[in-house]
Amino acid sequence: MLDYLRTVAILFAQPIRLVRTFTPDTLRADFLAGLTVGLVLLPQSLAFAILGGLPPIVGLYSALTATIVGALWGSSSHLNSGPTNTAAIITLSVLAPIITVGSSEFVTAASLIAVMAGIIRLVMGIARLGMLVNFVSDAVAVGFTAGAGILILSNQIGPLLRIDLPPGAGILTTITETATHLDAIHLPSLAIGLATIIIILLAPRFTRKVPAVLLSITIVSPIVWFLDLKAQGVRVMGPVPPGLPPLAQLPIFDLDLIGHLANGALALAIIGLVEAVAIARAIAGYSGQRIDSNQEFVGQGLANIVSGIFSGMPCSGSFNRSALAYQSGGQTALTAIVSGITVFLATTVLGPFLAEVPRAALAGALAVTAWSMVDQRAMARIWRGSRGEAVIMITTLTLTLTLPLQFAILIGVLMSLGYYLLRTAMPRVEAVVPDTEFRHWESAYGRPMCPQLLVVDLQGDLYFGAVNHVEEQLLNLLERQRQARYMLLRMHSVNQCDVSGIRALETIRRVLRVRGGDLFFVRVRASVMYRMQISGFYEQLGAERFLDEDKAIEYLFYRVLDPAVCIYECDRRVFRECQELPKQLLPSPVEIPVLDGKRPVHVTARRLWELLHTDHPPLIIDVREPREFQRGHIPGARNLPLSRLFHERDQLPPGPIVLVCRSGRRSLRAAALLAGRNPPPHILEGGMLAWEAANLLEAVEQF
């Protein structure tokens, strides 16, 4: 408990740590960058307030309060909080069906929902739920952002044409109303809006030192004043009250209103957090800064609470202002603080100028911003990459255009979580084989596979939600490969394994043991190995079942797999070790030896050496292939490969026989063929490998 309280205290002490990062070397850079960002924040705050159906001054209040508080309690040095197009359009979507747009109650409700969304974000940060944003896929963010951009674009048609449309009108209503009022289009307003759009699009070709939005408004507004277009019906911003933001009279005891705003507040909190953290991480990818999601939750929560208390609107992080802060040379969070102060000073000094800014110019600027929100490249990448995420993206976009935004967001988030759970509950279980150069593993689909050994990639965690799927897929693979007796599981993608996962592995091993085989593992992670050890599964298997990946196939090929199957029953060459193996198919398969339930009699290499030096030595039958026999064999041994023994077993002379092969496995097959012989044949334990290890004499044939 004390550790948790200490962690919470650290979250709220962030301003102290930030102040320590301010140095004389960074002050100048932060001051200049803050002035630049503040000049962009000023017109954006006005435009986004209008976009949300609020008086322009509300945007200025939010720009001053939220920007400074978000910088002090956030973790990013470049994230610029304040009014954004996304937060504005969600606010309008949530409040318009409940309260008359433009009324004083509407403004008060906007401040209240900002406080509510801020409290939700703050609680999530204190509860250290920052990792939750990782479960909201890019498909939701891209789909919602594109849909919001289209909505914003449609909402600017009215101000651009100076056609009075219903507040918060949908796309169909906007198109219908516009088509029926074409004769009411105000050409001077349209000309101002188009001129603003053209300047914003062309300005970067000439200069990037001055923000295009600021440049366009600076050019267009004096022209409107000089030509006295206001007298011809061009609408302007109107008086901007100077001074500090006043405290809002929030209806905190109006439970009915709070209940109506709850869903919208949750949607604002979720999408705002996803937006802010995504922007902070994107900028951090260039700056190299480490972002703390929990600290960012606290910063965004406090920013919205303070914004709402001081008559502001819901806020989030702005990508273009944050990117501008980085590109302008900002070093610390002081950049955002200076930008907020710049808005306050500019409001005090430039109030008369701001009052003459034409609304059509702000609509044109918002239209350009809205179109940039439709990220066609990201949408194409998601469409090509994953059909599941593509469905989520298209669904979220469609719902954004047709439903209230809070429901579109929540449904998109639920779809994202559902898709995540589906993927984790159904991890890929894929049989793999070596590629043509034996360097990497690739899907075995349509490729020849080893009849004895299944190599399988597990690409997901073995937890209770996934074990049924994994077990079913493994059993299906074994059903399709009925001859397979051994399985090698590649576990590099398995990060967690619970008790249910251990039970599933035990089931697979029992199936393999019934077939006379076993289960082997490579690349088992430490966390999974620990679970296997404390559950007793590791001890049950034995350390020899956990192999080194680079030597696993070699070990299994030479010490576990039945070479008789490889030589006489399999015409495939799957592994590197198969390439030089002689292939000689028998007319019919030879079954695995049972010897009437009795184990074959083994003789050690040293004992066989002694028997060879007696008066009646046993007959040594070497069942390896001639090429192996010629490289080295026991003196006096007779080479009779399984392919010949199958036909010549009745021609062997009476007397004791000792069967020899490389490791003893083929000798078992030979013993099965000679099971009715009396006395029963013996098998050299460990084969020629044991003979060589004992440093006993070998004969080598000369060519």
With residues binned 3-state (H G I as helix, E B as strand, rest as coil), the percentages for the chain, rounded to 5, are 60, 10, 30
Per-residue pLDDT at 291:
83
560, pLDDT greater than 80: yes
For 35-64, how does the pLDDT look when each residue is reduced to its tens digit (9 = 90+)?
878 877 887 888 889 888 899 889 999 999
DSSP letters along 398-458, please? Answer: HHHHHS-HHHHHHHHHHHHHHHHHHHHHS-EEEEEEE-TTSSSEEE-TTS---SSEEEEEE
For 309-360, how does the pLDDT look when each residue is reduced to its tens digit (9 = 90+)?
999 999 998 877 887 788 677 888 899 999 999 888 877 777 777 778 888 8
For 208-232, how does the pLDDT look when each residue is reduced to its tens digit (9 = 90+)?
767 677 788 888 888 888 888 888 8
More confident residue, 139 or 488: 488
Per-residue pLDDT at 224:
87
Give the separation between CA 451 and CA 455, rounded to whole angstroms.
Answer: 11
Span 680-686, mean pLDDT? Answer: 90
Per-residue pLDDT at 593:
46
Per-residue pLDDT at 700:
64
Side by side, the strands of the sheet bearing 619-622 are 601-603, 682-684, 657-660, 619-622, 638-639
Which pair of tokens denotes residue 516? 């006379």
Alpha helices in 481-621 (DSSP H): 499-514, 526-534, 537-541, 552-559, 563-564, 605-612
Phi, psi of 443 (to 5 degrees): -55, 140
Span 105-124, mean pLDDT? Answer: 94
Percentage of the chain modeled with pLDDT above 90: 27
Give the separation between CA 193 and CA 211, rounded to whole angstroms.
Answer: 17
570, pLDDT greater than 60: yes
For 448-494, how does the pLDDT look when each residue is reduced to its tens digit (9 = 90+)?
899 899 999 999 899 888 899 999 999 999 999 888 889 999 999 99
Q: Provide the whole-model pTM.
A: 0.61
For 531-557, how does the pLDDT look when each residue is reduced to its tens digit (9 = 90+)?
999 999 999 999 999 999 889 999 998
Per-residue pLDDT at 1:
63
Do β-strands 638-639 and 619-622 pair in parallel, antiparallel, or remain unpaired? parallel
Angle made by CA atoms 100, 101, 107, in degrees to the nearest 5: 100
For 261-289, how does the pLDDT look when each residue is reduced to its tens digit (9 = 90+)?
998 899 888 888 887 887 787 677 667 78
606, pLDDT greater than 70: yes
Q: What is the band of 108 on the pLDDT scale with cuts at 50, 70, 90? A: very high
Give the separation between CA 559 and CA 562, rounded to whole angstroms.
Answer: 8
703, pLDDT greater than 50: no
DSSP letters along 210-257, please? Answer: S-HHHHHHHHHHHHHHHTTGGGGT--B------SSPPPP---TT-HHH
Per-residue pLDDT at 83:
92
Is 620 in a helix, a strand, or coil?
A: strand
More confident residue, 293 or 494: 494
Domains of the chain, earliest start first: 2-418 (no CATH), 428-577 (3.30.750.24), 595-693 (3.40.250.10)
Residue 428 pairs in a beta bridge with 459
From 76-85, 203-212, 375-384, 640-649, the region with the lowest mean pLDDT: 203-212
Residue 187 pairs in a beta bridge with none
Give the separation between CA 119 and CA 593, rounded to whole angstroms.
Answer: 73
Give the separation between CA 57 and CA 45, rounded to whole angstroms.
Answer: 8
Per-residue pLDDT at 524:
94
**Number of helices and strands (H, E) in the chain?**
30, 13
Give the separation between CA 618 and CA 630, rounded to whole angstroms.
Answer: 21
Cα torsion 211, 217, 220, 223 to 10°: value is: -120
Mean pLDDT, the chain, integer:
84
Per-residue pLDDT at 46:
84
